[in-house]
Amino acid sequence: MKRKQINDNVERVKTISAQIRLQESKVHHIQNEPLVQIDVEKKKCEREQREVVVQQCAAQRELCHLMKELQKGIVDRELWTIRLDFSRIEIVSQEATLRELRNELNNVQAALENIENLLTRAKSNAKEKLLEAKRTCNNKLPQDPDFPYKDEFNDLPSDLRQLQELCIELQTRIDCMGANDDQIVKEFENRERLIAKLKVDVSSSSETNKNLVEKMNKIKSKWLPALEKLLNDINRSFGNMFSKLGCAGEIRLEKTGSDEDYDKYGVGIFVSFRGGEQLQQLTRHAQSGGERALCTALCVDEINQGMDAVNERKMFQLLVKVTTECDNSQYFLLTPKLLRHLQFGESVMIHTIMNGKQIMNYKQWNVVKHLENAHNYRP
């Protein structure tokens, strides 16, 4: 037991001796080091500190400037996106109007086609009767020099009324003829009536065809210039908005085929998203999904994302101003909350939806009490 204690003491002495030698070495090292000039080092530290502060202030100012530019860019982008949405809505409305006009035009074309079919059949029947008349006259016509009944034909009156009176007179004579000639007379009468009817049908069809063509041209003169003017206005707005986005875009009225082939009329959207690139028609194959969404999106989610209260207020007031500039614009804003003291136009309608498991029955709702509480509320 004593031996162990002695050994422990010996080890402790060795450890303490080693520590003493280490400390002596450190003291010797410190004594040999050159003296530090405290004042010089202090001034050097202060100078470096001032430089760091100046650099930090400059970096802070640059950061503030970049944040302002970022906020302005976000507001401008959302503004042009909203205006682009309005242009797309107007295009959809005009396309609906164009479809209605096309339906009306299709009805007119169907009626015209029916009349043309009647006219074709009438011409065919008239041609057959003319051939039959030629066979009875040795295949000759009144304008031929050797027409066998030239004298009789020249004796016929040129006035329609006189010709009708002559027909009545001849009919009377035929009635006085013998019974053996009844079949011939009936056949002659039938042919005369058929010829007269065919002449009336041909005249009526020609007049109807002329009236339909005039009506079509009149209708076309009403909607085509207005449609072209509307598309020009849309094209100007669409192009301006795309130029603000660093792109190019056009709206065109496309006519494939003749001008009367209204079924092939269409509205073409042509866009270019890179500088120097030619305009290409907007299709689901030529552009990417993001590019197509930029051209035709009708819904914007989280429009105020990343905005502070000041810019959110500006965006809301700008939205109200843009949507109330014309009578046919509308915009739906869905939000769980609004900033206080916003300005609303007369055409703005607000719907407050009160719903949920804890909502009371509408019969229990005290409107007067609620208004008093709202009036007395002070945040």
Q: pLDDT tens per residue, the chain (379 residues)? A: 666 777 777 777 778 778 777 777 777 777 676 655 677 777 888 888 888 888 888 878 888 888 888 888 888 888 888 888 888 898 888 888 888 888 888 888 888 888 888 888 888 887 886 777 677 777 777 777 777 777 777 777 777 677 777 777 777 776 666 555 566 667 777 777 778 777 777 777 778 888 888 888 888 888 888 888 888 988 888 787 777 667 788 888 888 777 777 788 888 888 887 777 888 888 877 776 656 655 654 566 676 777 778 777 877 887 787 677 666 556 788 888 888 888 888 888 888 887 777 777 778 888 888 888 888 876 6
In a domain, 50, yes or no: no
In a domain, 27, yes or no: no
Structural domain containing residue 366: 302-376
- The angle, 0 to 180 degrees and rounded to 10, between the axes of the packed helices 38-136 and 182-244 is 170
CA distance 20 to 28: 12
- The angle, 0 to 180 degrees and rounded to 10, between the axes of the packed helices 160-175 and 182-244 is 150
Question: Which pLDDT score is estimated for 227?
Answer: 85
Tokens encoding 331:
């915009």
CA distance 231 to 269: 11
Tokens encoding 95:
């396309």
Q: Confirm if 140 and 134 have CB atoms less than 8 A apart.
A: yes
As a 3-state breakdown, the chain gives helix, strand, coil percent values, each rounded to 5, of 70, 5, 25
Q: Confirm if 295 and 249 have CB atoms less than 8 A apart.
A: yes
Question: Which pLDDT score is estimated for 150?
Answer: 75
CA distance 319 to 336: 17
Helix boundaries (H) for 245-281: none
Residue 231 CB burial class (10 angstroms; 0-12, 13-18, ≥19): buried
CA distance 272 to 269: 10
Domain count within the chain: 1
Question: Which pLDDT score is estimated for 248?
Answer: 84
Q: What dihedral angle (degrees, nearest 10) is formed by the CA atoms of 320, 326, 331, 335?
A: 20
In a domain, 273, yes or no: no
Question: Which pLDDT score is estimated for 177?
Answer: 61
Question: Which pLDDT score is estimated for 263?
Answer: 80
In a domain, 280, yes or no: no
In a domain, 268, yes or no: no
CA distance 123 to 118: 9
Question: Which pLDDT score is estimated for 322?
Answer: 67
Question: Which pLDDT score is estimated for 123?
Answer: 82
Question: Which pLDDT score is estimated for 73?
Answer: 83
Q: 238 CB contacts (<8 Å, ≥6 apart)?
A: 84, 87, 249, 250, 251
Sign of CA dihedral 209, 211, 217, 222: negative
In a domain, 319, yes or no: yes
SS3 label, residue 343: coil
Phi, psi of 252 (to 5 degrees): -130, 150
In a domain, 333, yes or no: yes
In a domain, 351, yes or no: yes
Residue with tokens 């162990």: 4
